Every structure is written in structure tokens, then in C-alpha cells.
Structure 1
Amino acid sequence: MSTVAEVLSIIEHETIPVVGSRSYGERSITVKHAGLLAKLTTLPPNAFTWGHQSIKWSQYCGLVQLGDITLEILPKIHGNESEPGACRESLVRMLKQAGLLKIHKPGGADINLQTHTLLDIFIYDFCEQLNQQLVQGVIRRYIVREENIGVLKGKLLAQQQLRHNLAHKERLYCQYDELSEDILLNQAIKYTLRLLLPRAQSPRLKNELTQLIYTFDGVADTLVEVSDLERISLSRNEKRFEPILRLCIIFMQALNPGTGAGGNRMFSLLFDMNQLFERWVAAMLKPVARENGWRLRQQGPKRFMAYREDIDKDVFQMKPDICFIDDDGIPQLIVDAKWKLLELSEAKLGVSQADLYQMQAYANRYNCPSLCLMYPRQDNCLGEYRLTLQGEISSNLTVKSVQVARLQSRSWA
């Protein structure tokens, strides 16, 4: 029976010592764990940096399992730096509002964000979405079967009949179509459920996974690869399972069933906070766009900064993080989201020169009157600072910090 890994919660950019041996709960990892970390191929290349007998995490948050210990890397949220549970809740809420988690509060069956591990929360979300779709039924498809049976079913295969049944006139070698749930999509779901079962820590969640596996009792237990799932084409009636399929791919990529040296399980499931913050800001700004009668566009509209005449080609493509566009297709406000801290003691507020050049380029190329740089809230930050970009086109730039943590409400919404 598999043992549950110890969960060590750390904050992004925190430095963790690498020691020869450690006690349970100690904020460190051993040399053995560091060796496993070095071999973990699913990590982003810049997820952490090596120091002198230490490692320092970058802006990636999520989960990394190294044998008997699971590192839970949480975002550094202003006001909650010493509260892992609150940081975990903020991360889950950002993922939900950014559309990366669909989890909701079901009546009387809440899961505590403050105490449950991130992986349990991700698994809970997967179970929730799967249960919602199973209410409408398991997907079934017609598959072609060939069988040597006692009655005619479908069509008789003459060659196979002569080969197999010359001495058995009572048998008929038939080919027929059968409506079956034993298809690749369901095999992938069942495989993912079995992959998650030993990794869930909550007894209630383990029971939920077990019940879901029983639901797919008529589906074969088959080893499924991510490359297999790329062959799946969902019909119009099957599109409702598309988010489930995406989650299967994420879990299969992250929770690699392979093991490291000595049978040590390793996996990673990380989110780039730069990308997550951008998606979260976009989600938060959608009501603002609607109120002003604008459309919100992410990663666009795309334009080029220059034209290279000798090859007749536009070069240096630009695509703003977030752009508010009016009914005539004209950009009215461009927003760039930055997951980093300001330096409020500086006249420049810690805004990098490269970021300012980028915003000036947006102002000129898109002829946009209003620009905004958004950062997460921090100590002594008034929330909003205004700059005027000087030049041929004078644009207003707002440097704004937004509160990520919810200090009072603990609900899902």
C-alpha cells in the first residue's frame, strides 16, 4: 500500500536549504530530494535556481513531488505571506477566475481550501467536472467487432468462416457494429482516475475516485499515452467532455507514472504566475469593458513594429496582453500585467525601462490614448500612480496595483 508523501508548503522566491538529513516538517529538502529534482524532466527550465546548498524557486507555483515529499509552491500574496492556507486559497481562486479551474461550492460538500493540499483541490475539480458530465451519461460509440458465434449477427466473413469453421458448421464468423463504452476517451478517463487515486490524501476524495472508477467498470484498464489522446476527435454531442480530456492530458503529463531512482515517484504540476496573473487580470477587467461598451481582447490585436523591404515582410510582431477595443475596432486602452513587485521608494516606481519602452511603442503603433501597467498589491502601495508618456503622441500611463488576496470572504465565488 502506497504511503502518502509529506507536504511542505513554501512561498515563491523562497530559498530552501539542501541538507544531508531532515526531520518531518523541517523546511528543507535532502541531497537525495535535490538529486530527484535535477532529474525531473517535466519542470520548466527556469522553475528554480541552484544556490550554495540551497534552491530558490522562481515565479512558478503548484506541486512538485520528490519521492516521499511533495513541495507545494504557493504565490507570495500581500498580507498573507505567513499564511500558506490563505496563499493556497488565493491561488485556487485565481485559477478559477482565470478559467483554469471550474470548481464550485456544491451544497453541503465543500472542500476546505485552507487545509487541503493543492493536488487534492485539483483532483476534486476533476471529479466535479466529470460527475457533471456523467449525469448525462457515459460516451458510447459504435465499434466494429469480429466474433465466431452461434447465430448470424451483422455480416458473415466468408474467408474467416472457411478458415475457422470447416469442421464446425454450427459456428458463424461474423462482423458487426456494437455500441460500446470501451473507447479511447473512456479508457483515458479511467486511466487518469487510477493515476490520481494513490495520490489523493483526503479519504473522502479517495472514495469519490473509487466510485468513479466503478462507473467505468465496462471500460478496459489500458495504459494510455498523451500521444494517444491527440488522435481523439470529439463529435458535436461529445464536445461536453472536451474540458475533461484537457484535464486528463494535464494530469498525465504532470503525474508521470514513471519513477526515479530507487522507485521514488516524481511529478510536477506548475503554473507560471506571469501567465496566470495576466489571465486573472483579463477576467477581472471583462465587466469594465462591458460597462464602457468595449470588447476585451487578450494577446492582440497583433501588429508589426517594422517592415523589412528587401524581403517584403513585416517584422517585430506586437501583441498586447489586454486591449479594450470600441465598436469601430479602435484600441481605447491597453493593459500589460506584470507579476512582480514595485519599488515605491523610487521615482520610477520600480517600473523597468524595457516595460516603459514597450508601453510607449504600444501608444505609438496603436495610437492608443490610455495605457495601464498592472501589478499585484504590496506594502505602502497607494494603488494607483499616473505618468504621462512624452513624445509625438502623448499618452496617459496608469501604474496600478490590484489586491489579489481576499482578506474577509472565504467563499468560492
Structure 2
Amino acid sequence: MNKGKKHITVFEHESLRTDRGEQRLTDEQLKTLQLFYGEIGVPYYSLIHHGVRFNEFVGVIQVGKTVIEVLPKADRANSSDEEVKKSWRNVLISMLHVVGMFDIHASSNSNLSLRSNSILELYFELFIKEVEYLFHRGLVKKYRKTEGNKTALKGSIQFAKHISQNLVHQERFYVRHSAYNKEHDLHAILYKALKLLSYINTNVQLNSRLGALLLDFPEMYDIKITESVFDKIVFDRKTELYRNALEIAKLILLNYHPDLNRGANNVLALMFDMNVLWEKFVYVSLRKDKANITSIAAQNVKNFWKPISGYTSKMKPDIVLNKGKEDCVVLDTKWKSLNGYNPASEDLRQMFVYMKYYGAKKVALVYPGTENRNQSGQYYDHISNDSKGLSNEECSVISIGVVKDVKVWQKTICENINAWKENKNVIHQRDLNAAEK
């Protein structure tokens, strides 16, 4: 079952099983995902009977040659509709682009989202474009320390290794010296990423471009990829152009998990936490239109509690507007659908603490939704003895309707949050659409 299937698309919080459903995993694929999950687990999905259930992470998990695409979803539209999948795929790509996940030097990237069948293919194509761009500009040379046997004395001789290796080869010298050429770590990383892509890529349209790059790229030494390799990279005036290509190479190489047993079910996981992505998207959208805002800060840290010994606990609201001012506002973003229910009690308690510690005039929870809506609620009076009395302290729930046009969506976010902030009526999406026309 499913042996010929190369692309599976599901939405967050949906399941894939081996024994039921229109889209199924093979037993081998499930075993691979179970091994990848391991004992400590991964945040992308949880294991269920005969399958996996995806969490709030979206993106792509490639198992062998099969691509499992996990898309976000904030409405109740038919999940099996191909147009719905395409629409949400474009929403995800647009959000990633807005928060800076697709910043590239190469030109003509406007049609990438239309041609690509998944986020994974989009990243592959972006990486290829970046390397092609570097080729067009000319690969840079750098000094690199190297050592080994040479037939000419160059640099400093390493006596211990020279004696042990060249006792019967007096024409050789074991030396350490600096070489100025294209053989350095930046190119070794890019070369390794190109070779990996040529092995795991399933998009035949990219094969010829990958093959051409590998033919033209100077053959490099093998480099062991770890987080520290990328941490040690220092960009200068000549190598700044490499930053984007190396960022994508880092994303691909560090998230690739080879199958050490048979090599047929390697796993590459490029997944994004929708809660983090939604927070960044709202923040960037508000920062883009600061007409009614003095200052805006994301993830502003404030000390909360200090034990007699040990580390201080901190609080970190998602977005703080006009911190320290009379009209300070705190926003916390949540990527979930309330479906008519109240927010979670812990979220409301958290917002109450933010209000007190930041001296905020207003606080609100910001959710995606099917329409624009603002609902305010009052906290009960915690000072007087009247347990039924309400205070003047409010926490609002702001629902922002998802718009497929990302620029219109950003404008919707700004206008609705500013309207709430200034106690004006919510800007309904139908009014915004009419204004756009």
C-alpha cells in the first residue's frame, strides 16, 4: 500500500496510520518514524496505535523518497480539498517569507511558491539559486591552514610526523602551511549540501541544475557537520554573500538523519512551530505599521521570582507595545482555534500577571480565526471581599481572520489591533476587502 506514493499532505493535529485513511503510511515508514521519535521524542508528532499524530509543527518530513507535508489550518474547510491544501501551502510560504525565512540574494524568486509542491522543494530551489548566484559572482578564495607531505619545503616542517612518515622517503617533507585557494570550510559545507540534495531530491526539475552545479563546483574535502561548525563562521566583506546559502545548508544538513541500518529510509525534517511563526508574523506586521505605536518589543524579558538559592524565574510576553508608558499594551499570540470556547484558564492568569508587572493599560490574546472579532472580558475583583464583583481590569480576545493575500492579512492585523487599542470598532474583513477594491 502506498509504495508508489511520493507526496502525502496532511494538516496539523491530523493523523497518519498504516491501517486506515485515504492516505496511509507503509509499515516501513512508520517504523522509521518510530525510530526517529526515539525514547525522548520529537515535538513534531506523537506516536499512536498504528500511526502518528502531528502536533502544532508544520513543514515537511521526508522519509526515504516519500515527502510528508504538514500544513497549518485555522478554519473548518474540507481538509481533502486540493484547493484548500494549495491555499494553506501558499499561506505558510507567505508567512515564512514575511518573517525572513526566505531572504535570498538571487533574483526572480516571485514564482517559487507556485512551482514548488512543498516547503522542502522550495528550500531546495532557494539553495540552488543561492549557489548559482555565488558562481555568477565568483567563488571567493581564503587562507586555510593545511599540513601534509610535500615534495618541496614550504611552511614549517613538523618534525615528529616527518620522521615517522618519511624515514625512507627523503624527497618528501611533512609541513604545515597556509594555502590561498577556494578549498575552505564555506565551500566544503556548500559542496556537502549539494551532494546531499542530489541524493535525496525527488523533484526531477531540479536534477539537471544540481548536476550542473556538482560538475562545476570544485571537489572539496569531507567536513563533519555539527552546530559548532556554523557557530565558528565569521563573515566579512567578501563572504557576506554566502550567509543565505549557508543558512539554508545549515537547515538541511543539521536536520538530516540518515538511516544507518540500510540507508533506504533517511529522514529529513524541516518543521516550524506555528505558535512561534504566528508570533513573529504578528510582530513583523505591527512593526511594519507603527503609526499609532511609540515602541514595540518582542519577547521582552522581566524578572518574576527569585528563590533563596538558584536561578531567577522570568516572564516573557510575546509582544509589548509602548513599554513603560501610560498606554502600555501587552499581547500574547496563540495559534489555535477557540471554536466558540473561552481561552484556557492558564492563559488568562498569565495575561493578568503581565498586566500587573508591566503596568499595562490593556492586555489581549491574539488568535487566528475565520473572521475578525474582538471580545473583552473582565477579571473578578481580587481585592474586595465580594467574590462576585468585577474589577475594571480587562483581558480581550482578538480573533484575526486569515486572509490568503499576505499583504491584506498584515493590514488586517494592524488595523484590528490598533482599533482595539484605541477602543474603536473592529475592522471587518468584508469592509477591508471593499476598501481594497
Q: TM-score, normalised by structure 2?
A: 0.76
What secondary structure does 1:65 align onto? strand
- The reply on whether 1:304 has 2:294 as its aligned counterpart is no
Q: Which residue in 1 is equivalent to 2:66? A: 69
Amino acid across the alignment from 2:29: H
Amino acid across the alignment from 1:354: E
Deviation for aligned residue 1:321:
0.8
Deviation for aligned residue 1:341:
0.6
Q: Which residue in 2 is equivalent to 1:357? A: 349
- 8 Å CA contact 1:86, 1:114 repeated in 2: no
- The reply on whether 1:338 has 2:309 as its aligned counterpart is no
Relative CO higher for 1 or 2, CA cutoff 8 Å, sep ≥ 6? Answer: 1
- 8 Å CA contact 1:320, 1:334 repeated in 2: yes
Deviation for aligned residue 1:68:
4.5
Distance 1:196 1:87, change over 3 A: same
What secondary structure does 1:263 align onto? coil
| Aligned residue runs from structure 1 range 240-319, under 5 A | 240-261=241-262, 263-288=264-289, 290-300=290-300, 302-308=301-307, 310-311=308-309, 315-319=312-316
User: Aligned partners of 1:350, 1:202: CA distance in 2, in Å?
Assistant: 45
- 8 Å CA contact 1:323, 1:334 repeated in 2: yes
Deviation for aligned residue 1:408:
9.5
Q: What is the count of residue pairs matched by the alignment?
A: 390
Give the RMSD, CA atoms, in angstroms: 3.7
| Aligned residue runs from structure 1 range 214-233, under 5 A | 214-217=215-218, 219-227=219-227, 229-230=229-230, 232-233=232-233
User: Aligned partners of 1:94, 1:299: CA distance in 2, in Å?
Assistant: 19
- The reply on whether 1:16 has 2:16 as its aligned counterpart is yes
Deviation for aligned residue 1:209:
2.4
Q: Deviations over 1:214-248 (max 9, x none)?
A: 4422x415153225614633143234433433322
- 8 Å CA contact 1:17, 1:28 repeated in 2: yes
- The reply on whether 1:49 has 2:46 as its aligned counterpart is yes
User: Aligned partners of 2:374, 2:203: CA distance in 1, in Å?
Assistant: 42
Amino acid across the alignment from 2:299: Q
Equivalent residue for 2:30, pick from 30, 34, 46: 34
User: Aligned partners of 1:123, 1:286: CA distance in 2, in Å?
Assistant: 30
Deviation for aligned residue 1:337:
0.7
User: Aligned partners of 2:157, 2:313: CA distance in 1, in Å?
Assistant: 64
Amino acid across the alignment from 1:359: M
Gaps of 5+ in 2: 384-390, 409-437
User: Aligned partners of 1:86, 1:266: CA distance in 2, in Å?
Assistant: 26
Q: Deviations over 1:70-116 (max 9, x none)?
A: 21111114357432211111111111112222269944983353752
User: Aligned partners of 1:149, 1:53: CA distance in 2, in Å?
Assistant: 63
Deviation for aligned residue 1:272:
1.4
- 8 Å CA contact 1:376, 1:403 repeated in 2: yes
- 8 Å CA contact 1:80, 1:87 repeated in 2: no
What secondary structure does 1:271 align onto? strand
Distance 1:66 1:259, change over 3 A: farther
Q: Which residue in 1 is equivalent to 2:435? A: none
Q: Which residue in 1 is equivalent to 2:420? A: none
What secondary structure does 1:386 align onto? strand
Deviation for aligned residue 1:167:
9.5
- 8 Å CA contact 1:77, 1:87 repeated in 2: no
Q: Which residue in 2 is equivalent to 1:58? A: 55
Deviation for aligned residue 1:338:
0.3
Distance 1:206 1:167, change over 3 A: closer
Deviation for aligned residue 1:8:
0.7
Amino acid across the alignment from 2:26: T
- 8 Å CA contact 1:74, 1:88 repeated in 2: yes
Q: Which residue in 1 is equivalent to 2:211? A: 210
Distance 1:314 1:143, change over 3 A: closer
- 8 Å CA contact 2:116, 2:122 repeated in 1: no
- 8 Å CA contact 1:340, 1:375 repeated in 2: yes
What secondary structure does 1:70 align onto? strand
Q: Which residue in 2 is equivalent to 1:376? A: 368
Amino acid across the alignment from 2:404: R
User: Aligned partners of 1:132, 1:399: CA distance in 2, in Å?
Assistant: 46
User: Aligned partners of 1:227, 1:257: CA distance in 2, in Å?
Assistant: 17
Identity among equivalent pairs (%): 20
Deviation for aligned residue 1:266:
2.5
What secondary structure does 1:123 align onto? helix
- 8 Å CA contact 2:11, 2:71 repeated in 1: yes
Deviation for aligned residue 1:334:
1.1
Distance 1:166 1:359, change over 3 A: closer
